[in-house]
Structure 1
Amino acid sequence: MKDIILGPDAFEWQGTYYKTILPTAETDGAMSITDSVSPALSGPPRHIHHDADETFVVLSGEATFWVEGETFVRGPGQTAFVPRGAEHCFRIEGPQPCRHLVILTPGGFEGFFAAMSEKDCRIPEDMPAIAETGKRFHLDFTGPPLSAADLGGQS
């Protein structure tokens, strides 16, 4: 399945497929871009990137973003910007997966996704190990993923 979606260099973690399309090494550390396909109703726990701004470019599907207590929805052709230090998370809405680019400036965070895939860590069962790895990437987890209840009961 991953080969069809993102090609043979893609890898999977918790049902989400990732492929780094612009590694940090190719930008002298300035940025990285990861192509990602997340399944419906999925999303990470609330977290903070202490050293990087994060921009999402939604290519297909729809996601609800939660940034510092504000929620907003983005669909194909739309973007979401999360400044470094801002607590945030997102949730894929609707019945279909969401394909989006994750752009981090400066780069370096793409290694977190690869490490989690290699370790086959599971949320919430392996959160201590996930949080420990996150710290190496200047990431702290601060709360649970978004739920339908957080969004007023919508899907």
Structure 2
Amino acid sequence: MKDVLEDAATWNGTQYKTILTNDSTSGVMSIVDSVSPAGSGPPRHVHHAEDEVFVVLTGTLEWWMEGETGTCGAGEALFVPRGREHTFRVSDDAPCRHLVILTPGGFEQFFMEMAEKGCRIPEDMAAIVESGERHNLSFTGTPL
């Protein structure tokens, strides 16, 4: 499995390619294929409207969810219920490829907007927070 996604949007070094859109499922879900660089991960955050599932295809994610920690490697999945504070970090020295499954769909537009605007963390946090709020997302703390 290659770790470069053709026709992907890139934000903060992570590649995002929506492979199942919100529109194609009548809003039920969306799936984003992602490749995150070694050591990368988002600030702690909460999705207020979506459940999120990470399916790791290559590499390893170290995760934190409301004080619990663990790892998720290739062939494993992590379920994050809506409303739960969480974050992750790629813990290998290589990129991690993972699917992000969102139910209901729609949040994938946040990734596309951030890539299109070229927003940077932490330099552009005001714009990132504003977009997050429009996509039912609150940032709550620092990355791992």
| 2:41 paired with 1:43 | yes
**Unmatched tracts of structure 1, length 5 or more:** 147-155
- Show the counterpart of 1:6: 5
- Show the counterpart of 1:113: 111
- Show the counterpart of 1:73: 71
How many pairs does the alignment contain? 143
**Unmatched tracts of structure 2, length 5 or more:** none
- Return the letter of the residue paired with 2:4: I
Secondary structure of the residue aligned to 1:143 is coil
- Return the letter of the residue paired with 1:26: S
- Return the letter of the residue paired with 1:120: G
For 1:89-129, what per-residue CA distance to the aligned partner results, in whole angstroms no more than 9, with x for missing partners? Answer: 00001210000000000000000000000111110111111
- Show the counterpart of 1:52: 50
TM-score relative to the length of structure 2: 0.97
CA RMSD of aligned residues (A): 1.2
CA distance in 1, matches of 2:4, 2:118: 20
Greater relative CO (CA pairs within 8 A, separation 6+): 2
- Show the counterpart of 1:141: 139
Identity of aligned residues (%): 63
Query: How far does residue 11 in structure 1 lie from its aligned partner after superposition?
Result: 1.1
CA distance in 2, matches of 1:126, 1:70: 29
Picking from 18, 21, 27, the partner of 2:19 is: 21
Secondary structure of the residue aligned to 2:64 is strand
- Show the counterpart of 1:152: none
